[in-house]
Structure 1
Amino acid sequence: MKILRVCFFLLILANVAFLAWSLGYFDGVVEIHEPHRLAQQLNAEKMRIVDEKPVREATMACSRVSGLTQAAVEQIERDAAAWGSKATRLQPQVFHRVVIVGLTDKAAAELKKTELLRQLQQDLTPLQPASLAEIQVQAAANGRYEIVVGLFTDEITARDYVATLRKRGLMSAQWEQPKSSGPREVLEIQAKDVMFAEQLKTWIAPFPSAVVMSCVR
């Protein structure tokens, strides 16, 4: 019986020693028996949070430019294409303009435009017809400047707008008869960039007759 007890305790001691050896207590190195599990462990420093919300597509900006010659259309088309914008030619049209003429220089025209906007806002008069993107200063053929207040497809509506402005005290506004040269080209430009409006101004700057309009949907 004593021999069996001794053998039993020796067997337990051997198992404990083997367990300690397998765990690396004797050499200070932990042996990895399942390296594939270690490879599958997560590294916290490499983790990143992914936003699963859908990316919102940029809103398309749209403007129309009228009063263009064929050469002007071709140049603006090249500028728009280089900037990644989409330019589409529309049916040429004749527009009836409502203008303030005879301004000596651009500074005087811009000052008059500022005064005009302030006056129209106070009087609750529409700042411009829906077709016109904004009241615009343009260089005139005689070296002076003018302000485009309205843009219309027919004479009656243009004259009615002049009458409305004069009732508000803007006596210098007048209807301008369309030029006899015929309809001018109209170009519609669409772009996603938020700076599109400013970029468009640089494209049309070489063409004094260009007028920026709103896109009608």
Structure 2
Amino acid sequence: MAQLRVIVIALMFANLLALAIWKGWLGGGAYPGEPERLSNQLNPERMRLVADVRPVPAPLAAAPVPPLAPAAPEPPAPPAAPAPLVESPTPPGCVAFGGVSAAQLAEINARIASAGPGFKLTESRSGAASSWWVHVPPLGSKEAAERKAAEIRKLGVDDLFIVQDPGPAQFAISLGLYKNETQANRLLESLREKGVRSAQVAGRGATALRVELRGPSDSLATLASDLSERLRGANRLECSP
């Protein structure tokens, strides 16, 4: 019992001692609180500003930019091609022949065919024909006429003969003589269906044949001069192009 009392007194004494220390009764200050601790830490009168003396690094020098190479000059444009010269067309011309016979008409057609394209032949007749002759124009020689007659016979045409009398119709091949032009044209169509392409119809008697030839004036002048020497008995006339 005495021992327990001693323990209780010791505990009380320890508590009093702790209270005295906490209150500062034993000479120490009271336990500083949070405001006092902060004020002791700041000490504003001891603070001073110090300039930052660290060296500032120099800016990196920019790498030099190489100069741009001058642009290559554009090649000069090629010169424009000269415009083609346009030749002025040859003016048309016209020449006429009056009193042309059937044989001479065939010769004119042959000359036009050999002269090339660009020519046009127009026929006109005056007066009344007494008959119409279906024939192949003169071929120039007896041998040529016989060869042509043999070709026509092979096409199934036997009613023919070669004109032997001297004159414009010599060595022509006669295929028929009619008083009616319609009948003559029917025979001509029949012959062409069989393949006789060189036959033609010509009026005989009082008919006067006029031929007008048109084409480029420069070429026509040469052709007309040549025909004037060949067409004996025909009259050279003027006509409108």
Fold shared by both chains (TM-score > 0.5): no
Task: Point out the structure with max Rg over C-alpha.
Answer: 2
Higher relative contact order (CA 8 A, sep 6+): 1
Q: Please report the TM-score for the alignment, with normalisation by the length of structure 2.
A: 0.37
Q: TM-score, normalised by structure 1?
A: 0.40
